Structure formats: C-alpha cells, structure tokens
Chain A
Amino acid sequence: MKKDKMTRREPLTDTQLLMSITIGIFMVMYILAMILFGGGFLHAQQIFDMLNDNASLIIVSCGLTIVMIGGGIDISVGAVTSLVVMSCVLYLNNGGNIFVSILLALGIGLAFGAVHGFLISYLEIQPFIVTLAGMFFARGMTTILSVNPQKIAHEGFLKLMDAKLEIGWLGYVAKNGNKVPARIELGVIVAIVCVAVIFIVLKYVRLGRNFYAMGGNQTSALMLGINIKRTRFLSYLISGLLSGISGYVFMMHTGAGNATNAAGMEMNAIASSIIGGTLLTGGVGNVIGTFFGAMTLTTIKKIVVSSGLNDPWWQSITTGGMLCFFILLQSVVLGRRAAKKKN
C-alpha cells in the first residue's frame, strides 16, 4: 500500500507545479489588465461575462483533461456539442419536453463516448482517427439535421434561458445611475459543479487515480491490477457525457442551433488543457488548472481587444504566441526537474 502511494505521488507534484504556474500567470495577467486598462476589468461582471461565454468550453475541457490524463485524445468534443445543440433545438421547437431534451443531450453525448471508448480500448484503434471520424460524423449529422440556423422558440426553455443568478453587492453603477447587479447564467453553475465533481473524482476516487496510473505508465498500471481497457473506455465515456452537458449549456447561452456552432472548440479545449498544465503524454494534469487555462485564453483575447489592436488577425496571433510561451515554459520546467532528479 505504501509503495502504491509513492508511485502515484511523483506525477502529482508535476501536476501541482504546472497548475500553480498557470494560476500565477492568470492572476498577474488579470491584475496587469486591471492596472493598465481599468474600465471593464475593474468590475466583477467582467469575470462573470468570461464565465458566461465560456461555460461550455470549460465543461468540454474538463472531459478532455480526463482523456489526456489517461494518455488519449478526443477531438470530437466540439462537433458533438454542436450536434447536441442542433438536435435539442429541433426537438424543442417541434413541441418537445425540457426534461426529455436534457436526456436527449446526455444520451447523444454518452452514445458518442461509448462508441469512441469501445473502438479505442477494445478494438485498439488509434484514438486520433476514431475521434476524428466521430468529429466528421457529428459535423455531418448536424448539417443533415439542418443547414439553416434554427432559433429556439420553446417558451419553457426561453424562461430557463433567462433565469440568471443576480448578485446585488457585486454589481456596479451604470453611467445612467442605475445599479446593475452581477449576472451569472445557470450554465456557469453547471460548469462549476462539473469542475468540482471531476476534481473530487480525480483526487479521491479509485477511478480517478486509475486514470493517472494508466496515463503515467500503462504497463505498470496493468501490473497493479488496473483494468486498463475498462478505465480507458470510461475516460472516453465521461468525455462524451461532458460534451453532451456542454451542448446543453451552449444552447442555454446562445439559444440557437447553427451548423457552425462550437467551430474549433476542440482545439480551444486542447489549448485550455495544455495551458492548465495537462500533458498530452498522459499522467499529468488537473481540472482546476484546466479551468484557469480556459480563463487565461479568454483573458488574452479580452486584453487584445482592450489594447486597441482591432485588426481581426491579432486575437489569433496573440493566442498562438501565448500558447507557444506556455508550451515552452512547461517543456523547460519539466526538463529541468527531470535533469535534477537524475542528479
């Protein structure tokens, strides 16, 4: 039992180090933005807006983090989100029930996760190819369902969309003198619950520890008696489920189905996970880091807009530069630690 713990502790310290770097950089960046640009950055609403816009990205990134900790990759998450949005919108517009639509969203996500997991873990096909095919399938199905954008018209759902958590004391006084309370969408609460649950699962539940063991060293995990195939299957299943939830949250945010919904979300999710300190090689990562990764990504974009670089290309170029910085930093930090350990 004691030996068991020791093999698990090593990758965890890497995880904590990378996570604290991310959180630190996020804090520094945000405080600098507050000092340099002031304005919107001084209001609490700015953070809540960032959360409102990115709730579904955060949920999807959490699923991806689990898959990446297990040493795999899932690039279908954005497409599945888009498919869930489109099918739920069409279902609700044709006189559907809200509870059934939630089940539909979860069902689509789980179905994708189960098929991916089965093909990857039991038929041993490369995860990139399987989830790429899943991405193609989901994108294609979305356009088969409807090429034209669909606006939601279900009354009950519109009420659910408008339901917002309002916090008076965090609000600000607008220019016309009205007091505007801080608004948080329900999706953000779902996202935070997801992050918390996954954090607990990864840290204290046997299944979560198995993900780390599997990603760290598959052979030794197998020798410890971990059912590798089932663990890998479950990692993709969870990722699929979270894509379903993310689709529903996305719908609650935008209120419309569109074939180009969540375009490029898979790469944003991968970027969030990486900035948050998850390694694609597996065994290292944390959802709290991922959460801050997604927030860092948005903060960069907000800063670019605030600093007056209005040409449309600057957002992507600075995001790329930031990503480059984080990736190099991780490589250097981990390389140094590995060298120290050897000595």
Chain B
Amino acid sequence: MKKEKTKFFSTGLGQLTIPLVAIFLLVIFNLIRDPSFFGIVLGHNNDGNIVLSGNLISIINGASELAVLAMGMTLVTAACGGQDISVGAAAAIAGSVFVKVLKSGGSIGGGKVLIAFIAACVVAMLFGTFNGTLVAVFRIQPMIATLILYTCGRSIAYWINGGATPTVSSPIITAIGGFIPGIPVPTPIIIVVIVAILFKLVFHFTSLELFTQSVGINGSAARLNGINSTFIKLLSFIILGVCVAVSGSIGVSRLGLINHETLLLDIEMDTILAVAIGGNNLGGGKFRISGSIIGAYVIQMLTVTLYAMKVSSTDVKAYKAIVIILLVVIGSPVIKSRFEKLMSRFKNGRSEISAKGAGES
C-alpha cells in the first residue's frame, strides 16, 4: 500500500509531468507579470471576418508547424532512436513544390491547391523514403543520414524556385494561412487538430503504436516476434514526410511566398526540443504524441512570453537556452531519483509516526 502510494505521487502523470509543469509555471509567470496577458478578443480583421485574437491565440497559432512536425518526429524518434535534422530543409523543398504547382499556369482554384498539396506530400514522402532507407536498410544513425538532406535541402529548394523567391496570392492560400471566412479560429490550429485526430485514429485502428515502441525498445527482439522492423522504421520516416509537407504548406500559405532560406528556419532544433520536453526518450522506445504537442506549445509560449518582455528576436535564444537547461535539469534521471528518495523518506517518516499514533490509541 505504502509503495503504491509513493509510486502514484512520483509518476502520477508519467512523462507528461515536466511539460505540464512548464506550461503551468509559464502561465503563472505571465499572469503575475500582466493579468490581461491571456485575454482573448473577438474582433474584425481587414477582410471584415470575425476573428479571435490575443496572445493565447497567437501562441497556439504560431506553434502549428512545430506541433505537426513534433508529432511526426516523435514516431521517428521512438522507432529509430534518433532524430531527423532535415525537417526544415525538407519543408522548404515541399513548400517550393507546393508553390511551383500553384504557379504552373491558370487560375488558383480549390482543386489546384489540393493537387499542389498532394504533389508536396509525394515529394516530401520521397525524401522521407530516402532518409528512411539510409536508416532502416543501411543502418546509418538517423542524425548522420539526415545530415545529407540538411546540407543540401535548402539548396534544392532554391534550385526548384529557379533562384528566386516566388509569391502566390489567392484567397484560398490566405484562408489556409489565416482565417476561413465565417470561422473565427485561425486555420493552422484547425489543421493541427485534424492531424492530431488522424494520428489518434491510426493508433486506435492499427497496431502502429505498439509496433513502433517494440522496434524502438529492441529492434532484433521485435523482428524475432514477427514485426518487420525495417518497414516500421521506413514508415515512420514516410509519415514524418507527410507532416513535413503539411507544415511546409502552412508556412508558405502564412506568408504567401516561399523563401528557401527563411522558411521554418532552425525548426529542426525546436522540433527535437519539443519531443524531448514532452518527456520522450530521445534514445527511442516508449513515446506519447500528446507530450510532444504540449512540448511544442511550451516552446512557443516561452518565445511569445520573451517577446512580450521586450526581448529582441535575436536575443531570445539565450533566454530560451536557460529555461531549457532548467527544464531538463529538473527532468534529469539523477535529480529525479534524488527527489524521489527524499520524498519517500519524508513519507515513510510520516507514516511511521502515524502508525505509532495508531498503535498508541
């Protein structure tokens, strides 16, 4: 009984403890600093649509690309025990393909946007297959294998764009990156919710989650149990490819232009960070997609908080680093086990006292 209770207290929320505590601390900090920080305003934008605005909305909206990528990255991390550092470069390629197809003559209609998106998906999945083959078939460490695309990805995007930064303007693209007329919630948020539901459905109706975890924990044991671990690893990279295409398309639609240098710059680092803050082991194995999503929002909330404190966009990194280090130090195994020991000693002491009291009465 005593043991169970200790366990309950120390691992109540499991791996979600750290990200939730981080969000909680950030919310408290912001409320103390400025009580109206999280106020949401219902107003009209330039086009006359009714839209929601406010810091909370901009945090959730701004983290959309990161959240989508973090979901895919969690799968890759869990299956392969390593990370894909080429997501930013691949998203630039996917975005370029998206724009290329959109601009290929004729007016931009709904069908054309869909075709462009599918083309971006196919290209991103091809690059995912390339990375996945290197990792799964040639057994190269994921970080090394994806270093290739990281090195040349943005240049390939530049090549596709023909050495320019083409723009697209269309009500549909504006709607994808901003607001659909009549719906006050920014569209990227809706896309994140759809992707999250799709992941949930896939995990519910297939054994992908279980298979991925078993491949990540022990690949050869999984293989001996009849799981095709090569295929699972490859599949995780292909799914990440779809996520890359989605976030690349969101990123392009937001600005209405594709710039191979700045589109989702440095997002690979933030994505890996989101996965780590979400409590997932970067060495593979057990994972929780929800943790990574919360991790993405933690990063974005931190960034927006720093902007609100008048920290310039170039200096944000230094403060972000301090918070990250504090978070991972709190979550580190050594500190955790020390803390648990301390807690259990405290609890044992108290229960001994109460037991004594019960004996006396």
Q: Do A and B bind each other?
A: yes
**A residues engaging B (CB < 8 A)?**
73, 119, 122-126, 128-130, 132-137, 139-141, 143-144, 147, 259, 267, 270-271, 274, 279-281, 311-317, 319-321, 323-324, 327-328, 331-332, 335
Is B269 an interface residue when CB atoms closer than 8 A count as contact? yes
CB neighbours of A129 from chain B (8 A): 272-273, 276, 282, 324, 328
Which of A144, A274, A319 touches B144 (beta carbons < 8 Å)? A274
22 CB contacts below 8 A, A to B, read: A119-B328, A119-B329, A123-B329, A123-B332, A123-B334, A124-B333, A129-B272, A130-B325, A132-B324, A140-B315, A140-B319, A143-B318, A147-B312, A279-B141, A311-B159, A317-B156, A317-B159, A319-B151, A320-B155, A321-B152, A327-B134, A327-B138
The answer to whether A327 and B318 touch across the interface, beta carbons within 8 angstroms, is: no
| A133 touching B328 in the complex, CB below 8 Å, given contacts A128-B83, A280-B143 | yes
Chain A residue with Cβ nearest B283: A126
Is B147 an interface residue when CB atoms closer than 8 A count as contact? yes
Chain B residue with Cβ nearest A319: B151
Is B12 an interface residue when CB atoms closer than 8 A count as contact? no
Additional A-B contact list (12), CB under 8 Å, known A137-B317, A140-B316, A319-B152: A119-B325, A129-B272, A129-B328, A139-B318, A143-B317, A143-B318, A312-B155, A313-B155, A316-B154, A327-B144, A328-B140, A331-B138
Interface size counted on chain B using CB atoms at 8 A: 46
The answer to whether B325 and A320 touch across the interface, beta carbons within 8 angstroms, is: no
Is B179 an interface residue when CB atoms closer than 8 A count as contact? no
Separation in Å of the A326 CB from the closest CB of chain B?
10
Chain B residue with Cβ nearest A331: B138
Is B210 an interface residue when CB atoms closer than 8 A count as contact? no
Chain A residue with Cβ nearest B143: A280
Separation in Å of the A224 CB from the closest CB of chain B?
23
* Total contacts A-B at CB 8 Å: 136
Which of A143, A274, A328 touches B315 (beta carbons < 8 Å)? A143
CB neighbours of A122 from chain B (8 A): 334
Is B7 an interface residue when CB atoms closer than 8 A count as contact? no
Q: How far is the CA of A274 from the CA of B83 in the complex (A)?
A: 17
The answer to whether B276 and A280 touch across the interface, beta carbons within 8 angstroms, is: no
Is B171 an interface residue when CB atoms closer than 8 A count as contact? no
| A124 touching B151 in the complex, CB below 8 Å, given contacts A129-B273, A140-B319 | no
**B residues engaging A (CB < 8 A)?**
83, 134, 138-141, 143-145, 147-156, 158-159, 163, 269, 272-273, 276, 282-283, 312, 314-322, 324-325, 328-329, 332-335
Which of A135, A136, A267, A312 touches B147 (beta carbons < 8 Å)? A267
Q: How far is the CA of A231 from the CA of B344 in the complex (A)?
A: 33
Q: How far is the CA of A117 from the CA of B139 in the complex (A)?
A: 28
Q: How far is the CA of A274 from the CA of B151 in the complex (A)?
A: 14
CB neighbours of A315 from chain B (8 A): 155
Which of A125, A137, A271, A328 touches B328 (beta carbons < 8 Å)? A125
The answer to whether A320 and B148 touch across the interface, beta carbons within 8 angstroms, is: yes
The answer to whether B328 and A274 touch across the interface, beta carbons within 8 angstroms, is: no
Q: How far is the CA of A332 from the CA of B138 in the complex (A)?
A: 8
Q: How far is the CA of A233 from the CA of B334 in the complex (A)?
A: 16
Separation in Å of the B62 CB from the closest CB of chain A?
18
The answer to whether B152 and A137 touch across the interface, beta carbons within 8 angstroms, is: no
Which of B152, B273, B282 touches A316 (beta carbons < 8 Å)? B152
Cβ-closest 3 pairs across A and B: A140-B318, A320-B152, A140-B317
Separation in Å of the B45 CB from the closest CB of chain A?
32
CB neighbours of B283 from chain A (8 A): 126
